[in-house]
Chain A
Amino acid sequence: MSTVVLLAVTGLGLGGLYFLVASGLSLIYGVMRILNFAHGAFLTVGGYLGYEAGHRFGAQANSWPVFALMLVVGTVAGGLLAVLVELLLIRRLYEREIEQVLVTVGLGLAAVALVSGSWGSDARTFPAPRWMARTTSIFGADVPNLRFACIVAAVLVLLGLQLLLGRTRYGLIIRAGVENRSMVAALGIDVRRTFTAVFGLGGALAGLGGVLTALYNSTVSPGMGDSLLIFAFIVVVIGGLGSVTGSAVAAAGVALLQQFANYYASAGIGDLTVVAALAVVLLLRPSGFVGRQVRLA
């Protein structure tokens, strides 16, 4: 029983990370029709800048205020980087969707290399409040607290996004834009500004995800974004492109599946199972379980 609880909480924690990355990807695709391959870079940069912010405090880095600062720095870094990318690069390629994807590919490669060059390619220990390293006992299982932190963060973000999408005008524009962006323009709304905002929001979520991923792994490394990104893409597609709720459900499902399969079968089977699940979902329902109909690339 305690194993199940541990696996479940670990899975949900990982799912939280997937959700943070996938929700941004999903919105970006939904509104802008871009497969953002630079998303991993936003995560990595957010994680590293958050690391830097905390690292400066030396021994005092393992405290809650510093951790809060790291979260903020990571989120803002991811968001700013994304906004810059959108304004300088993506906008020039309006209506050229394949080129937009390609540019994000190039950026992803370049950014990770730059991070590697600046901080070195070895993993670095990520400072965190001591509470994170301790465990709490639930139903007989000793669960590391940082898993809870990831779950809490993801749930807060989910609620925040629901509020944003459901209760604000911006959210209204985004939801409409996911369905039919040319009609949104035909209502007199400047969709380009929405694009920048959505891209920036996605980047910020990725940056936050970066700090939390580093927390989850206890390290930052240049490749951290890329490995997560594949699973995030899988989550986005299973959950449905453009759907935040879908991403949440899919993230939890995928992560849980991964954890349980990795444990009960053997390490690696979990990853394979997830991949198989993606293939199955796509073949049965190309639009994912919740989201909108996929269009031709």
Chain B
Amino acid sequence: MTAPAATAVLAVRELDAWIGLQQILHRVSFEVPATGVTALLGRNGVGKTTTLRALLALVRRSGSVTLAGSRIDAEPTHRIVRRGIGYVPENREVFAGLTVAENLQLARRGPGGPDRDQLLTELFPDLLGRLAQPAGTLSGGQQQMVALARVLLNDNRALLVDEPTKGLAPRVVDQVADALAVAAERLPLLLVEQDLAVVGRLATRVVVLAEGRVVHTGPAADFLGDQAEVRRLLGVSGSNAGGANAGGGSDGGHR
């Protein structure tokens, strides 16, 4: 079902994407509404990460992508990002040799956006004492904080977040989910996530992929409530799928 373009911050139509010679996505179409969290779900290897990367032109793609009404599919990555898309990649990808402060400094695109110390105090107090620490020496959870703080330091119109809780201890998972919830109050998120508890907490809509194609879109509550559908499309049962996700991110041949 299509929502009118005016209320969608991201509209994706007929998106194909390739990694090398292999086509990963086939005519993927969906929308991300201007409020709330849209979860991108699917088994390992179906192309969820590739979808996010395709939106950012980090992989070869074709098709139409619209951000708040303007086409962005012909633009290079940095221009797309500058239009207001924040990206939190799978595996965080913080710069290990740079300090936490430098990582955040690099991420800030311009004037505007919240004060760094205020943001950290509010959401990531752990980082306040670690500003001079090289990011490579942080724990996984702390690195995830840095990755999140990076995108929150700018005035973005949407966030693309890829498996933020992967490999994290349960307490840290909660912290991350809290931060995402706060972020979601202010801007729309497109969230790839395997942990269905987190999805259940945050998501308003879901888009489900299988083998590079969209197989289901709809309200999150409806989908998550239908255990049979969840099992069929995601291959896991009901609530906390964090355990079933062990073995995690490395799939067939692509990310």
Proximity string of chain A (155-191) to chain B, C-beta cutoff 8 Å, 1 when within and 0 when not: 0000000000000010011011011101111111111
Binds A, one of B41-49, B90-98, B197-205, B245-253: B90-98
Q: Which B residues are CB-close (under 8 A) to A183?
A: 89, 93, 95
Q: Which A residues are CB-close (under 8 A) to B56?
A: 186
- Contact call A191/B102, Cβ cutoff below 8 A: no
Q: Is the CB of B221 closer than 8 A to any CB of chain A?
A: no
Binds A, one of B75-83, B119-127, B179-187: B75-83
Q: Which A residues are CB-close (under 8 A) to B76?
A: 185, 190
Out of A176, A182, A190, name the residue touching B106 (CB < 8 Å): A176
Q: Which A residues are CB-close (under 8 A) to B89?
A: 183, 186
Out of A172, A178, A179, A190, name the residue touching B105 (CB < 8 Å): A172
Q: Which B residues are CB-close (under 8 A) to A187?
A: 78, 81, 106-107, 109, 150
- Contact call B58/A182, Cβ cutoff below 8 A: yes
Q: Is the CB of B30 closer than 8 A to any CB of chain A?
A: no
A41 to B105, CA, bound (A): 37
Proximity string of chain A (189-233) to chain B, C-beta cutoff 8 Å, 1 when within and 0 when not: 111000000000000000000000000000000000000000000
Name the interface size band of chain A: 10 to 19
Q: Which A residues are CB-close (under 8 A) to B154?
A: 188
Q: Which A residues are CB-close (under 8 A) to B78?
A: 185-191
- Contact call B77/A172, Cβ cutoff below 8 A: no
A51 to B78, CA, bound (A): 42
A20 to B200, CA, bound (A): 57
Q: Which A residues are CB-close (under 8 A) to B77?
A: 182, 185-186
Q: Which B residues are CB-close (under 8 A) to A169?
A: 105-106
Q: Which B residues are CB-close (under 8 A) to A176?
A: 95, 98, 106
Known pairs A183-B89, A187-B78, A189-B106 / 16 extra A-B pairs, C-beta < 8 Å: A172-B106, A176-B106, A179-B96, A179-B97, A180-B95, A183-B93, A184-B106, A185-B77, A186-B58, A186-B77, A186-B81, A186-B93, A187-B107, A187-B109, A188-B82, A189-B78
- Residues on B lying within 8 angstroms of A by beta carbon are 56, 58, 76-78, 81-82, 87, 89, 93, 95-98, 102, 105-107, 109, 150, 154
**The 10 nearest A-B residue pairs measured at CB:** A188-B81, A185-B77, A188-B82, A183-B93, A176-B95, A186-B87, A190-B78, A188-B109, A185-B78, A179-B95
Q: List 7 A-B contacts (CB under 8 A).
A: A173-B106, A176-B106, A178-B97, A185-B77, A187-B78, A189-B78, A189-B106
